[in-house]
Amino acid sequence: MIQAPVDAPPIATDEIVITAARAPEQASESAASVTVIDKQRIERLGEPLLPALLRLVPSAAVAASGPAGSLTQVRIRGAEASHTLLFVDGIRANDPASINEPHWELLNADLASRLEVLRGPQSALWGSEAIGGVVAVNGLGEGASPPSLAAEAGSFGFRRLSASGGVASGAANAALAVGWQRSEGIDVFGGGDRDGYRNLSARLRASWQVSPVLEVGVAGFSLNGRNQFDGSDPVTFAKTHDLSSRNALHAARIWTGFAAESWNATASASLLGSLNRNDFAGDEINRTRGRRQSLSGQVEHRFTTGALAHLLVAAVDLEREEFRARDLTFGGFTDQDRDRRHQALTVEWRGEAGPLVADFAVRRDSFNRFGDATTLRASSVLDVGRGLSLAASYGEGIAQPSFSDLYGFFPGSFVGNPSLKPESSRGVEASVRYRSDRIQIALTGYRQRLRDEIADVFDPATFLASTINRETRSHRSGIEAELGWRLGDVARLTANYSYLRASEPDGASQVREIRRPRHSGSIAIDGASGRLGYGASLAFAGARRDTNFEVFPAEAVRLGSYWLGGARVAYALSRRVELFARAANAFDERYQDVFGYRTEGRSLHAGIRLAARR
């Protein structure tokens, strides 16, 4: 699994990235396209939920079905919403009971100290769902940290509380954080009803350095959310305001690490459980439960042969997933209990010879419910001097069918297809980069092809829907331009622009994919001067296509472009007390990420942070 992050200063040439290889490496030696948002920027921007920060990542399209806390999907480089792999503190957090998608709307930003986004197919390193990319959310660091408490209130009935602290004694340390927030929301469909959300989350981390070469630790999280939403009556299919959902993810991980001279070894076990419940007018409609048990082990060996330095990594992953569905609307006909297992073996080699760094990885995933898959990745970085480097990579990705794809869910209308095989993707990218003490510039071009895409089909003779693997391919290609500039602690600026072409087959032609803007970008700045700290961001999403299901037959619609601006200013009254003010959607944009679902306008917030003396 992904290892614990190594703290590093932002916008620095020696920044460590943890998802671009099975072993952490310096960003300057990685061919992968990675964006890191560190603790300082997370705090200075002050966003309540992490999806708002993902809008600042190149080629990341965020689609929220209404106001904050609503169902949220993320598509990286034009990939599907289920093609991004999420890790939270080294635990794979895609929900097996929710078509393998992450619950982005549950990610409370108060519990995150680092956000890392790796773009492009990465299944040769991390397995299924890593087609668009990998997102790693790391929370609590090691060592003692003074207790702190923060409170905030603002528009739309928004309230927010968080508390955190850590202790250290000798070779042992532990840290805990808790975050709560709620909002009354807005009227999404019209009619006077407001759709709000509640979020309660907690994270724990503890470790013990048993000896100079042996460490053991434990980490866990609990993410809980409830949101109201507008949709269709489950019986009459008419518009209704009476729907709500409750979603929860609970997970724990234990690990041990061994390090001696040129050898490193880690072993871990994790358990994740999920619950998704849908209600209508206060009564339960249905619920799904998921469970994932994982075991993993990894060995690393460093050695040299002449002028070539090698890193060899071998890793084994074992996984078992369970799925349970229950309903009260269809007389229990959707009830089912399913399970599946899979094993994987990964081998990675990295070599360094002077200015050239090369990497090759291969992974074999063996599944008991559908076909096995082998994925490859090869990359290289060449330092040509004076801060300039060239990078290129080839990667493959897979996404396993969900339990619903395989076995169906809705009686009398949708049946599964147990003969499905995993979706697969191949991609190449190349980039030109410049790095100095204060400036980073990168220009990247990429191209991907998705094969065996799992698509819904409808049989007009039986009026039943099902799933198939498409024989034709979907196309994704684009360009990413990035700029980073830093002036000490006073100011740190990042900017990016992305151009995307994403299409899928429609008969003999290709049509533009929905909810993927062709043009997108962002600017963010943060810094501190004396008692004053600040952060501001501006994210742009260009026009994109969506589908209007309110008419029959459904028709394509165009969603307009928009700019989302936000800012936070904080002033330290003392070393223990800080006051702050924050604005979200500062330009009061009227926009939709999903057709028919309105989002929040401008909001203003104020709060206070208290911290114990160091």
Q: What DSSP letter does each residue of 360-375 carry, written as one string?
A: EEEEEEEESSS--EEE
CB 48 within 8 A of CB 185: no
The pLDDT assigned to 8 comes to 27
Q: Which residues contact 516 (CB under 8 A, 6 or more apart)?
A: 61, 75, 78, 500, 502, 544
CB 201 within 8 A of CB 221: yes
CB 120 within 8 A of CB 33: yes
Nearest C-alpha neighbor of 315 from the set 245, 351, 385, 364: 364
CB 597 within 8 A of CB 66: yes
The pLDDT assigned to 554 comes to 83
The pLDDT assigned to 3 comes to 39
Residue length of the chain:
614
The pLDDT assigned to 193 comes to 79
Please state the separation of Cα 321 from the chain's center in Å: 20
Neighbours of 293 (CB within 10 A): 15
Look at the domain 16-611 and name its fold. Maltoporin; Chain A (2.40.170)
Partners of 512 in beta bridges? 503
Nearest C-alpha neighbor of 174 from the set 140, 138, 215: 140
**Cα 418–424–425 angle (5° rounding)?**
160
Task: Identify the residue whose tokens are 């260009």.
Answer: 542
Neighbours of 485 (CB within 10 A): 16
pLDDT digits (tens, 9 = 90+) for 88-107: 999 999 999 998 999 999 99
Please give the average pLDDT of every successive group of 10 residues along the chain, which has 614 residues: 32 64 87 94 97 97 92 96 95 94 96 94 96 90 79 97 92 94 87 86 95 95 90 60 88 96 96 94 87 97 96 98 87 86 97 96 95 96 96 97 87 84 96 95 98 90 88 96 93 97 88 95 97 97 92 88 97 96 97 92 97 72
Q: Which residues contact 292 (CB under 8 A, 6 or more apart)?
A: 92, 96, 270, 271, 272, 273, 319, 320, 321, 322
Q: Give the domain ranges of the chain.
A: 16-611
CB 433 within 8 A of CB 388: yes
Alpha carbon distance 185, 203 (integer Å) = 26
Work out whether strand 172-186 and strand 373-385 pair parallel, antiparallel, or are unpaired: unpaired
C-alpha separations of 290 from 93, 221, 357, 420 in Å: 11, 16, 41, 20
The pLDDT assigned to 7 comes to 31
Identify whether 553 is preceded by a cis peptide bond (ω within 30 of 0): yes
Q: What are phi and psi of 463, to 5 degrees?
A: 60, 30
Question: Which secondary structure element, helix H or strand E, spans residue 40, and what is its range?
Answer: helix 39-45
Q: What are phi and psi of 54, to 5 degrees?
A: -65, -20
Helices (H), 317-434: 403-407
Alpha carbon distance 443, 493 (integer Å) = 17
For the full predicted model, state whether its pTM sits above 0.75: yes
Alpha carbon distance 395, 120 (integer Å) = 7
CB 525 within 8 A of CB 499: no
pLDDT digits (tens, 9 = 90+) for 489-498: 899 999 999 9
**Cα 541–42–604 angle (5° rounding)?**
70
